[in-house]
Structure 1
Amino acid sequence: MSGTTKNLLEGAATLVTGLVLWLFAGDVELPFVTLTKVGVVMMCVGGALLLTGLFQVARSPRGKR
C-alpha cells in the first residue's frame, strides 16, 4: 500500500471515528477526558491526513496513481 493510499484511508477512518464520538458520546463521562472534545481533535487530525493524501494525489505524476 502506498503512502498516499494509507493517508487517505487513515484520514477517512479517523475523521469518521471522531464524528461518531462527537455526535454520540456526549452523555458518557470519563474522569480525565471529554469524549466530544476527543472527537473534535480526531476529526481535525483525520481532516489533515485526508488533505495530505489529496495533496499527494494531486502532486503525483499520472502514471503513479
Structure 2
Amino acid sequence: MSRARRNLLEGIVTFTAGLGLWLFAGDVEVPLVTLTTGVVMMCVGGAPAAAGLWQAARRGT
C-alpha cells in the first residue's frame, strides 16, 4: 500500500469515527467523550486525508 493511499484511508477512518461521535454521542455524559471530541477528530482526520489526496495528485503528474 502506498503512502498516499495509507494516509487517505487513515484520514477517512478518523474522520468517520469523529463524525459518528459528533452525531450520536452528543447526549452521552462521559467526561472523555463529548461533542467537541467528535469535531476535533473530524479535523484531525481531514489533515491526513488531504495529505493523501495531495500525495496521490503529485505522484500522478
Q: One fold, TM greater than 0.5? A: yes
Q: Which runs of 5+ in 2 are unaligned?
A: none
Aligned to 2:7: 7
1:45-60 paired onto structure 2 within 5 Å: 45-60=44-59
Q: Distance in 2 between matches of 1:27 and 1:61?
A: 44
Deviation at 1:35, TM superposition (A): 2.1
* TM norm structure 1: 0.83
Structure 1 residue ranges, 4+ long, deviating more than 6 angstroms after superposition: none
Q: Distance in 1 between matches of 2:34 and 2:13?
A: 17
Q: Distance in 2 between matches of 1:36 and 1:44?
A: 13
| Percent identity between the two aligned chains | 57
How many equivalent pairs are there? 61
**Higher Cα Rg, which structure:** 1
Q: Distance in 2 between matches of 1:56 and 1:42?
A: 21
